[in-house]
Amino acid sequence: MGHNNGTEVTEFILLGFAGQHEFWHILFMVFLVTYAATLLGNVGMILLIKSHSSLHTPMYFFLQHLAFVDLCYASAITPKMLQNFLCNKQSISFTGCLVQLLVYGTFVTSDCYILAAMAVDRYVAICNPLHYPTVMCWRRCIQLLLGSYFMGFLNASVNTGFTFSLNFCKSNVINHFFCDVPPILALSCSSICINIMVLTVFVGRKKAFSTCASHLTAVTIFYGTLLYMYVHHGTNRSQEQEKMASVFYGIIIPMSNPLIYSLRNQDVIKALRHIGNKSF
Single pTM value for the model: 0.79
Could you read off the pLDDT of 4-36 as tens digits, one per residue? 444 577 888 888 787 667 778 888 999 999 999
Rg (CA), the chain: 20
Sign of the torsion angle spanned by Cα atoms 181, 185, 191, 193: positive
Amino acid at 261: Y
Could you read off the pLDDT of 105-160 as tens digits, one per residue? 999 899 889 988 988 888 888 888 888 899 999 999 999 999 999 999 999 998 88
Q: Does pLDDT of 205 surpass 70?
A: no
Q: Considering only CA atoms, which of 253, 252, 242 is closest in space to residue 17?
A: 242
Could you read off the pLDDT of 149-188 as tens digits, one per residue? 999 999 999 888 888 887 777 678 888 888 888 788 877 7
DSSP state of 187: T
Q: Would you state the torsion angle of the CA atoms of residues 64, 67, 72, 78, taken in this order, to the nearest 10 degrees?
A: -160
Amino acid at 45: M
Which residues on adjacent β-strands are paired with residue 11?
93
Q: Does pLDDT of 38 surpass 90?
A: yes
Question: Domain extents for the chain?
Answer: 11-279
Beta strands 173-174; 91-93: pairing state: unpaired
Which residues on adjacent β-strands are paired with residue 92?
12
Beta carbons within 10 angstroms of residue 273's beta carbon: 10
Distance (Å, whole) CA 176 – CA 169: 18
Distance (Å, whole) CA 127 – CA 50: 28
- CA neighbours closer than 13 Å in the CB half-sphere of residue 175: 13
Angstrom CA distances, 161 to 6, 52, 153, 193, stand at 19, 41, 12, 14
* Banded pLDDT at 203 (limits 50, 70, 90): very low
pLDDT of residue 279: 61
Q: Would you state the torsion angle of the CA atoms of residues 265, 273, 34, 219, taken in this order, to the nearest 10 degrees?
A: -10
pLDDT of residue 196: 53
* Banded pLDDT at 76 (limits 50, 70, 90): very high
pLDDT of residue 157: 93
The CATH superfamily holding the domain 11-279 is Rhodopsin 7-helix transmembrane proteins (1.20.1070.10)
